[in-house]
Amino acid sequence: MIFGLCPVPSRELHNAEGRKKSKREAKDTLDMPDKRSSVSQNFIKNIIEEDLRANKNEGRVHTRFPPEPNGYLHIGHAKSICLNFGLAQEYNGLCNLRFDDTNPTKEEEEFVESIKEDIRWLGFDWEEREYYASDYFDQLYDWAIRLIKDGKAYVDHLSAEQIREYRGTLTDPGRESPYRNRTVKENLDLFGRMKAGEFPDGACVLRAKIDMASPNLNMRDPVMYRVLHATHHRTGDKWRIYPTYDFAHGQSDSIEGITHSICTLEFEDHRPLYDWFIDQLGIHHPQQIEFARLNLSYTVLSKRKLLALVEEGHVDGWDDPRMPTLSGLRRRGYTPEAVRDFCERIGVAKRESLVDISLLEHCLREDLNRRAPRVMGILRPLRVVITNYPEGRVEELDALNNPENPEMGTRKVPFSRYLYIERDDFMEDPPKKFYRLAPGREVRLRYAYFIRCVDVVKDHKSGEIIELHCTYDPETRGGWAPDGRKVKSTLHWVSEGQAIRAEVRLYDHLFLRPDSDEEKDGLDFKAHLNPDSLEVLVSCPLEPSLAGASPGSHYQFERLGYFYVDTKDSSPDRPVFNRTATLRDTWAKIRSRGSR
């Protein structure tokens, strides 16, 4: 909100405020890609609709969201969740949750639980269909045996490094391993011994026997199983060999009867391999469809990088409100509605792009503007003494809880001789376009009175302004002058004696550069971390209606932004407020410049 800076006469501004804002927002919505049409033009839907017309898969639509439980979900995963669950909903189908837990060394139970919590929070339900790739280890083993028996897989003793070397490059064909033409009998024996734990880690692998000269590197005898003496979070110590993601993923989809396996573009080159396994085994064949992953400006969307930020202490855990994780966004005050709206607006495409983080913030503002009650609080207080207001008197003034939604009612705010305003709402020597408080000037205190600054009190030594002396006009109660006199700005304020004190945390982008996810100039991605991404204000005076504000509630602090009562660090007598977003909608500006 900009009424403090706006040269429009204040009464008009005040009266028109609700209408004006919603007009502006209506325009915003018109300028945005229309939600329905962008989704119906989504190429994945075209494929599905084609399949339905052809009665492929007996008209079933069955998708899945397949996270690897090696980190917390981020906003990129939300795109995939909304897509997979959304398509199932739209076509009367089903969506499974499957944990791709083939790598026992990186996976933890904590991640499984957090992933489930995040999907539920987003508003999706996998009902009883919670699966694990590890549930299929026996089946996958049997299929590996079948491929060995068919002469399509062999045990190789080359080291990982040699395998890489023998694989060749995009321009050079690969070389065959000297172990490639072992007999079926020998392979069965060795693979059985791998399973029995007779070999140390890395001593041998099971590889598919496909084509070392294939132009697709994934088809050059990829590894199917590796020896790993590790305890798995679900199968314990049962297995000494683990299937690779490439051998497990497509078959897991097949076992679950998935019709459309939707994944990100980096798996496009793996598709021929998944198809090969499925065709060799003669099992149900899901159709894999790739789409471009979400990249978001000023942040990183890779679990590996996010894990590094957590482990190296650059942030305060996976749910640090600066993190692009769903738990971080939630703790910051994002709503599931805003995240879903964002995912719908970005749509799906085949081409990688960088989405501006201000679009995500825009979706949040649209949602919170409707529902967050407005209150007044001061971040950087400047004391004001109303010299003609009686000492000891406190009066209660009526304030609207949301001028755009009268149903949200009113509340009382106390007014007294001693108040706080925002330090930067006063300038002793204001430049031309500064319309807020200055010596001799009159402004409105929101819902209260007109006040005029009559004196500036400074610290003798430092010269710092410590207090303003103002007079108020008792005739202007409620913020209107009976003589029609206008003021150029309206300030928020808090009465000193009744204020509660709270910690307020202000956030900025986690990274300084929009393309922080790209490793450029040989610099580590952490070189671009924003050192000022968090500012903690320890004792901000807030209006007393905020006493006992419950953790998890949203507010709009007038003129300052949307705030969320922290769910972790707040206590009943000491709430902590996280700023979710400021009120400045940079997305609207970016779009009107036409740079989207």
- Could you give the residue numbers annotated as active site? 68, 293, 303
Query: Please, what is the minimum distance in Å from the beta carbon of residue 68 to Mg ion?
Result: 5
Interaction between residue 381 and ligand ATP (CB under 6 A): no
Query: Please, what is the minimum distance in Å from the beta carbon of residue 66 to Mg ion?
Result: 8
**285, 278 contact by CB (below 8 A):** yes
Query: Please, what is the minimum distance in Å from the beta carbon of residue 557 to ligand ATP?
Result: 32
Identity of the residue, 301 or 368, whose beta carbon is nearer to ligand ATP in the bound complex: 301
Q: Which partner in ligand ATP, Mg ion, none is near 489 (CB below 5 to 8 A by kind)? A: none
Determine phi and psi for 465, rounding to 5 degrees: -75, 125
Q: Which partner in ligand ATP, Mg ion, none is near 365 (CB below 5 to 8 A by kind)? A: none
The C-alpha torsion from 30 through 33 and 34 to 37, rounded to 10°, is 160
Rounded Cα distance between 93 and 86, Å, is 10
Interaction between residue 324 and ligand ATP (CB under 6 A): no
Interaction between residue 374 and ligand ATP (CB under 6 A): no
Interface residue with ligand ATP among 214, 287, 302, 530 (CB under 6 A) is 302
Interaction between residue 586 and ligand ATP (CB under 6 A): no
DSSP characters for 31-90?
A: HSPPHHHHHHT-HHHHHHHHHHHTTGGGG--EEEE---SSS--BHHHHHHHHHHHHHHHH
Only one of the segments 41-49, 65-73, 277-285, 413-421 lies at the binding site for ligand ATP (rule: CB under 6 A); that segment is 65-73
Helix crossing, 271-281 with 245-255: angle to 10°? 60
Q: How far, in whole angstroms, is CA 455 from its chain's centroid?
A: 47
Query: Please, what is the minimum distance in Å from the beta carbon of residue 298 to ligand ATP?
Result: 15
Interaction between residue 554 and ligand ATP (CB under 6 A): no
Cα-Cα end-to-end distance for the chain: 24
Residue at token pair 């065959």? 176
The site for ligand ATP, by CB under 6 A, has a size of 15
Nearest to 162 by CA among 128, 125, 116, 202: 202
Helix crossing, 357-371 with 336-346: angle to 10°? 140
Tokens of 234: 């679900």
Q: Which residues, in sequence order, are CB contacts of 124 under 8 Å at separation 6+?
A: 81, 82, 85, 95
Only one of the segments 43-51, 168-176, 297-305, 468-476 lies at the binding site for ligand ATP (rule: CB under 6 A); that segment is 297-305
Rg (CA), the chain: 31
- Which x/- pattern over 66-95 shows residues binding ligand ATP (rule: CB under 6 A)? xxx-------xx-xx---------------
Q: Which partner in Mg ion, ligand ATP, none is near 238 (CB below 5 to 8 A by kind)? A: none
- Which x/- pattern over 33-72 shows residues binding Mg ion (rule: CB under 5 A)? -----------------------------------x----
User: With the C-alpha atoms ordered 577, 579, 582, 583, is the resulting torsion angle positive or negative?
Assistant: negative
Identity of the residue, 67 or 93, whose beta carbon is nearer to ligand ATP in the bound complex: 67
Query: Please, what is the minimum distance in Å from the beta carbon of residue 289 to ligand ATP?
Result: 11
Query: Please, what is the minimum distance in Å from the beta carbon of residue 82 to Mg ion?
Result: 18
Residue nearest to ligand ATP (CB): 76
Q: Which partner in Mg ion, ligand ATP, none is near 226 (CB below 5 to 8 A by kind)? A: none
- Which x/- pattern over 234-263 shows residues binding ligand ATP (rule: CB under 6 A)? -----------------------------x
Query: Please, what is the minimum distance in Å from the beta carbon of residue 48 to ligand ATP?
Result: 17
CB atoms within 10 A of CB 170: 7
Q: Which partner in ligand ATP, Mg ion, none is near 443 (CB below 5 to 8 A by kind)? A: none
Interface residue with ligand ATP among 62, 270, 303, 340 (CB under 6 A) is 303
Interaction between residue 156 and ligand ATP (CB under 6 A): no
Identity of the residue, 97 or 494, whose beta carbon is nearer to Mg ion in the bound complex: 97
Residues in the chain: 596
Query: Please, what is the minimum distance in Å from the beta carbon of residue 84 to ligand ATP?
Result: 8
Q: Is 205 helix (H, G, I), strand (E, B) or coil?
A: strand
Helix crossing, 245-255 with 137-149: angle to 10°? 110
Rounded Cα distance between 331 and 49, Å, is 38
Contacts 24+ apart (CB under 8 A), 519-523: none
**419, 386 contact by CB (below 8 A):** yes
Q: Using CB under 6 A, list all residues that contact ligand ATP.
A: 66-68, 76-77, 79-80, 263-264, 293-294, 301-304
Q: Using CB under 5 A, list all residues that contact Mg ion.
A: 68
